Structure formats: C-alpha cells, structure tokens
A and B are shown apart, each in its own frame.
Chain A
Amino acid sequence: MLRLDGATVRFGKRAALDDVDLEVAEHEVVCVLGPSGSGKSTLLRVVAGLQTADAGRVLLDGRDQRGVPVHRRGVGLMFQDHQLFPQRDVGGNVAFGLRMRGVGKAGQARRVAELLEMVGLPGAGPRAISTLSGGEQQRVALARALAPEPKLLMLDEPLGQLDRGLRERLVVELRQLFGRLGTTVLAVTHDQGEAFALADRVVVMRDGRIAQSGTPLEVWRRPASEFVARFLGFDNVVAATVGGEAADTVWGKVPVPVGTPQGEARLLVRPAGVRLVPVAEGLPCVVTARTFRGHHVALLLRPSEGPALEAECALRDAPEVGTEVGVAFAGDEVVVLGVGG
C-alpha cells in the first residue's frame, strides 16, 4: 500500500528524515512514535506531498509519487490542530473533499450525514466551527478526512490537545472505527499509550531514523535500544559485563536471560523486576520518593553506588520515604539492550 524507500529530507544541515524505509500494508494501522523533533511529522508531510524528499522514493499502491501534486495523491491527513475551515460550517467542512472531487449535491449531503452519524455528531451539519468543543472539532476533522474515502489516512497527533479522559475514550472509538472500515492508517504521536492502544504496529523514531519497529507488545517487552527503553519510560538502565547467566553491574550481580551474548552490554531492569528484600539479603538502598499510581506504588530508590532505581510494589507493602531496603533482581524482567542506541 505505502512504501518509503530511503526517504530523506534535510533542513539545512540537519536531516529531519534520514534514509527511512517503511511499509504499511493494506488495512494496517501503523503508529509512528517519537519525541518532538524526531521527524515524525515530516514523514507524514513527505507522504502527503507537502514536503518534497531530497532523496528516496514514496510509493502508493506501487506507484512512485515523485511529481504527483498534493491534491492528486488521494491520501487523507488530519492535522494536529485540526485546521477546520473557519468560514464554513461543519457540513461545509466535511463536504469539502467531496466537492473537490465533483460529487453532486445530493451525494454530498448523503455522505456528510452518514459521516457525522458515524463520528457521533448526527445533525451537526449547520453548526459553526467556533461553537465546537475540542473533542467535537476532532470528530469533524476526522469526518472531513474520511469523507473522500482516502486510500491512506494519516493522523498527526490526532488526540494531542484533548484532555486525558476524552483521549482515552476516543482512542478506543478510533480503533473500533478503523477496524470496522478497514481503513489503512498511518498515525504519528509522542504519546506511547495512544500509540499502543491504536496501532497494529508501532514504529519508534529518533533523529529522523527508525529506532525500532514491531507490534506494541514486542516493542514494550523488548525495547531495541536504550533510547527506546527510556522513551517508553524505563529508566533502570545500567552498563554491564555479561558472564554466564549473570551480569556484573554497579548494582551487583544481575541475572540475564539464557543465551545472552557474553561481554559488554547495557541492561534494562523493568520496575516490576526490582524486588524488595530484607536489607541484609540484597543491594542496600534508601527510599527517596513514593508515587501512588493507582493499582501500585512506584518507588524511587537510591543505591549506595550507581544510578537510581525505580521499583513497583503493592500499596500495602510500600515502605516509607527514608526507609532502608534491600533489592534483588528478577531475571525474567531483565532486557539486554543493543549497545548502539
């Protein structure tokens, strides 16, 4: 469906996209995840034709899009802040793409009604854009992008500016909608929760390059590099020397999975793999912070040597700040990261 071959975009000396290869299959929902400035918006702009690639190719349905202007690419793009046309009403916005394709008045009206129904705003056609709330604007923008039935729908931070409750609800709605319509989707976001909830496949970007690509579960369980791990919120990363079935670190011996290559490596210990034990039986640490996270408590521990550790424990077991505890590591929550990233 969509293929990028070595797509590269440079702004001056800086490469916003650096030799990116990416494929999106029909009916697949792919989410590009990365911090701001990682080039994810540029990726969408290149596919839409709003930005020309300095090198590489963009193929849609196997056809090279070089020289094809934006309005002939037949892709849909939902902008970060929606960019609804302020001088048109809701119906006029949704019908815009249909009008550009020469759909008749009756056809437009039917499709607009159908789409507004689908996004949960039945009968909103005559409303002015300025009367819409953030969530409603988002729905209108989605209806507008879907109306011409684009072969590929792209979403730029689709839920970026909405408050959290609304965001969590809309993610579920979007996921169901795309599943039902069979839409091919390429979305970008900086919010991992959004990406994992929405996507069949997640692509993590860093400095214009793809750092990792895989299903949400794969990426979550096996971050490919320290960058990906830290971006996903895992901070228990440490330098290690693997020897046999354990590794030497400043935190002491840490068990590693069977078959880990020997030698220098960086290790991630998930917070769930940091177990509290009596002081004498493990690495001695002081509890420096305690954050209530609903179904568990996150603890920040300072060992006598090396970087701070994050641990998870049940509410009733959580020690007070200032308490001395011992720490042991569980091997099944340890991930060996690639040294490169």
Chain B
Amino acid sequence: MALPVAFFAVFFAYPVAAITGRGLTVDGVWQFGRVGEVLADPDIRGVLWFTTWQALASTALTLLIALPAAYVFARLDFPGKQLLRAVVTVPFVLPTVVVGTAFLALLGRGGLLDELWGVRLDTSVWAILLAHVFFNYAVVVRTVGGLWSQLDPRQEEAARVLGAGRFAAWRRVTLPALVPAVAAAALMVFLFTFTSFGVVQILGGPAYSTLEVEIYRQTAQFLDLPTAAVLTLVQFAAVGAILAVHAWTVRRRESALRLVDPARTARRPRGAGQWALLGAVLATVAVLIVVPLGVLVERSLDGPDGYGFGYYRALQSAGASGGTFLVPPLEAVWNSLEYALAATAIALVVGGLAAAALTRRAGRLVRGFDALLMLPLGVSAVTVGFGFLITLDEPPLDLRTSWILVPLAQALVGVPFVVRTMLPVLRAVDARLREAAAVLGASPPRVWREVDLPMVRRALLVAAGFAFAVSLGEFGATVFIARPDNPTLPVAVARLLGRAGDLNYGQAMALSTILMVVCAVALLVLERMRPDRSGAGEF
C-alpha cells in the first residue's frame, strides 16, 4: 500500500499541484480572482460548452451503435467471434494520434471520401464524434456484453413461465440487471471523450477545442499558465465527479447478481431478426472500424510513384523529413518499445501492489484510494507532462534528463488498467482458500505464491498487455517530456502531421500503421489468454 501511495504522491499529485499552484500564485499570493476571470471569458465558456456537449453526443452515439453489438457478442454464437472481438478492441488500445490520423485519411483533405465524392468532414464535429465512437465502441461492447453474457438466461425463462412475453421478460429481468453496466460504460465513454486530446487536436482544427486541447494550447502556445491552471482545476473537478458516480455504479453492479459461465449462454442465431441483427453489427464494424484502419494502411503505401514502401523507407533516414527530426523516425519505434516496456514494468509493480492491498482491506479509506487510482485517466495528461518538467528537475528528484521520466508518465496511465484488470480476479479468489493454505502451513508470502499467483497469472498478463498498449500510445504527457532526439511513435506522428508536404503526410501514415500493428499484435496475443471469468473489460 505504501509504494503505490508514494508513487502517486510524487509522480502525480505533486506535479499537478505544483503546476496548478504556479499558475494561480503571483509572488506566493493566491490569485483566486483568476478563476472567475477565466470562467467569464466567452471563448473559454465556448470551450466548456463544446467539451460537454460533444462528450454527451459521443456517448449517446456510442451507446446507440454499440449496444446491439453487446447483445450479439453476449447471446449469439457465430464463427469468427473471437477474432471479431479482438478487432473491435483494437481501436481502444490504439493511440489517439493514430485514430486521428486514420480518420484524417478517411474524411480529411485528399482523403477517401474527398476523392470519391468530394466530401470533407475533417474540420466538422462529425469527424470528432465518429472517431470517438470508433474509439469507445469496445468499452461498451466489453463492459455491457461481458456482463450480459454471464446473466443466466434461465432468469428470463423463469419470467416467461410466470407469464411475461418475450419483450416484457427482457425489460423486467435482463434490462434492470444491465442498467448498472450500461451506466458504468456510458460514464467511462463520457470520461474518455470529455478529456479527449489527440483526436480533437488532429481532427478539430482551430474551430473546435476541448478543455484538454485548450489546456495544451494555453500552456504550450500562449504560455498562459494561470488560464491553464484554472482549466486544469475545472477538468479535475469534472473528472472527480464522473469518477465518483462511476465508483457508485460499479459497486451497484457488484451487488448480488447470479453469474454463469458465458460459454453456456450463447447460441447460434435463429430467425430472420437475429440474422439481420448480426449482419447489421458486422456491417457497422466493417464501416466504422475496418475501413478507417484500412484506409490508413492504404495511404501509407500510396506514394507519388504508385503503391510501394517508399514512405516506410523514408522513415529510415533523418534527412528525408526535411529537418523535422534529429534522428531517423524509425528509431522512434525502438524508443517507444523500450519506454513502453519500462512503463509496463512500473505499472505492474505499482498497480499489482495497489490491487493486492485493495483486496486485503476494505474500508472507506481504501475505497477512496480505489477511485483515486482512476484519476490519471481523466486528469489532463498535458498538465502532468508539464508538471513533470517543472517539479522533477531539481535534487533530490532531478529526472529531467533521465530517460525514466517518459516511462514514469506513461505508467501513470497504465496503473488504472492494471488495477481494473487485477482487482475483479483477486477479489474472486475465495479468502478461505488462502486460509486453507495458511492452516496447512503456508506463510503469507507463500500463500500469495501458491494460491493467488496461479489464479491471477493470466489476468496479470492481460494487465501487462493493456499497460503496454496504453503506454505505447500515450501522447498528452509524452509530447512534453520526450526529448527531441528520443521521440516516441505518437510524438513522431504528430510532428510529421504538423508539417506540410506529401512526404511528411505519407510518413505519418506509415508510422501510424507500424504503431497500429504493434498494438494489434499485443492485443491479439492477449485475446488468446483472456482470464476466463473476469468479465474482461472492467475499464
């Protein structure tokens, strides 16, 4: 318990507090008047309004499109289901930068729609909403579908026997059981879209800006720290509120539902309705998820002299980018992998210890810590990154020039995933099984090794995979602290996109493709060893 708390205090609370403090004090005097001033600014109000309504709209749209898919994954059995489940999950672990780039290739200038019908959506809100749906589809499918597949169909059958029609049985029995999961998924989607950065940064253009983008702009472009600090506080408050509601719904979800093995609840589609639904879901997945990724790959191969690996070859030299990089962009791949591995190790240690501590103790304090662990998912990564720069630059913690700075920031985002994945599995281990081992003579560490570890081994691997994928794609904080001679993949992509010229654009597509492939491979490996009964997808 002590290590995770210390980790969060030093690498999260301290930098965020320091940068907020610096923004809001002048000569050591707190300037709370700034809060009112900033919030009265019509531009800022516009940003707040846009942030909120686009998040609401994204959430509603995601639920609308993904809920039928949740049903299909939960109750229908069809060939290729495992593969499809992996495919819809790929976007979730994709770096926001890649998602942005893919939609740019689809909807942007010179994009597929532009070429075919002259339609451009890249500076419209539709591009942002669609990208958000693309991104969060898996959250709904896995959270809701995961629970749905474990609800005992016999409960509905009992209602039917008692005289309820098919729909009435669903509405009275299944729906109430699903509501907490739907609410939890919706809140998560709202949280992710409320704090959206990479997608809006790339697709929004100057017209659209979320809080997170505005914080980045105020900090990096206008150097207006006070405004950024106020916005950080606003976002912090909003995220805190969302997480509090989320924690509440999750706890309600854990309440006495009788769960069964998902393998027994799914069956082959029957009747025209179910086949049509399955077809519609497959079509949605194809259009919404496969097409953007396909276009991304296509663009990366579509050079000035026809299809080829020209852009990939160009990534091998620093000069080809016209001075964008000090090193060949391809080196970013190795940097990213190294950083992500280190970040994964840190996240596993910190998150694993936190999850173990949370399992053993259950008090109000511990529950509070549980919610706290989720904060890094919502607190401005830009603030964290900038906070790292100004706080970790003096002894005893002079890390500014150390390579460990980037993995530390990335691990912050990885920890919540580790905790979310491990906690349900650890909690499912019967405490009396541990007692049985202790009575038979196993010391507490031995109990952990003999009882807990064999049961959570797979969850641990899955957690590692998630941590690896999100570390690989982390952008908001890394963009501040990655050194110019050691860029990560997302940072390199963003830098290439920021430059004009076909070569830069093509190289960005190529790098994004590489990043996507690395993430997808990590995910496919994970899908093979999903923990059986964790409800997989407790994010």
Which A residues lie at the B interface, using CB under 8 A?
A: 48, 50, 69-77, 79, 81, 83, 85, 87, 96-97, 100-101, 144-145, 148
Contact = CB atoms under 8 A, between A and B. Distances in A.
B451 A50 contact: no
A48 B440 contact: no
A181 to B, nearest CB: 18
B440 A97 contact: yes
10 contacts: A69-B444, A70-B435, A71-B441, A71-B443, A71-B444, A73-B439, A83-B430, A83-B436, A85-B437, A96-B440
B436 A77 contact: yes
Contact of B454 (A74, A81, A87, A97): A87
B436 A148 contact: no
A83 B441 contact: no
B532 to A, nearest CB: 11
A97 B433 contact: no
B439 A77 contact: yes
Contacts, number: 60
A85 B433 contact: yes
B329 to A, nearest CB: 46
B529 to A, nearest CB: 15
B377 to A, nearest CB: 32
B432 A83 contact: yes
Given A87-B454, A96-B437, A69 B443 contact: yes
B60 interface: no
B442 interface: yes
B446 interface: yes
Contacts of A73: 439
B438 A71 contact: yes
Contacts of B433: 83, 85
A232 to B, nearest CB: 30
Nearest to A81: B432
Contacts of A83: 430, 432-433, 435-436
Nearest to B440: A97
Contacts of A48: 435, 439
A87 B440 contact: no
Contacts of A69: 438, 443-444
Contact of A148 (B432, B438, B440, B446): B440
Contacts of A144: 440
Nearest to B443: A71
B39 interface: no
A79 B440 CA distance: 12
A73 B439 CA distance: 8
Interface in B409-442: 430, 432-433, 435-442
B436 A79 contact: yes
A107 to B, nearest CB: 15
Contacts of B392: none
A144 B439 CA distance: 11
B441 A100 contact: yes
Contact residues of B: prevailing secondary structure: helix
Nearest to B457: A87
Given A70-B435, A79-B432, A87 B443 contact: no
B455 interface: yes
Q: Which of B430, B436, B439 has its CB near the most chain A CB atoms (within 10 A)?
A: B439
B435 A50 contact: yes
Nearest to A87: B454
A87 B439 CA distance: 18
A108 to B, nearest CB: 13
B440 A100 contact: yes
Contacts of B450: 85, 96
B450 to A, nearest CB: 8
B451 to A, nearest CB: 7
Interface in B426-483: 430, 432-433, 435-444, 446, 450-451, 454-455
Given A75-B439, A76-B440, A144-B440, 19 more contacts: A50-B435, A50-B438, A69-B443, A70-B438, A71-B439, A71-B442, A71-B443, A71-B446, A79-B435, A83-B433, A83-B436, A85-B433, A85-B436, A85-B437, A87-B454, A96-B442, A100-B446, A101-B441, A148-B440
Contacts of A96: 437, 440, 442, 450
B494 to A, nearest CB: 46
A138 B44 CA distance: 68
B341 to A, nearest CB: 29
Q: Which of B432, B433, B436, B440 has its CB near the most chain A CB atoms (within 10 A)?
A: B440
A79 B432 CA distance: 8
Nearest to A44: B439
Interface string B346-379: 0000000000000000000000000000000000
B439 A76 contact: yes
Contacts of A100: 437, 440-442, 446
A85 B451 CA distance: 8
A79 B433 CA distance: 9
A71 to B, nearest CB: 5
A136 B441 CA distance: 23
A71 B446 CA distance: 10
A145 B441 CA distance: 11
A50 B439 contact: yes
Contacts of B443: 69, 71
A140 to B, nearest CB: 12
A148 B441 contact: yes
Nearest to A73: B439
B452 to A, nearest CB: 11
A138 to B, nearest CB: 14
Contacts of B454: 87
B134 to A, nearest CB: 39
A97 B455 contact: no
A137 B450 CA distance: 20
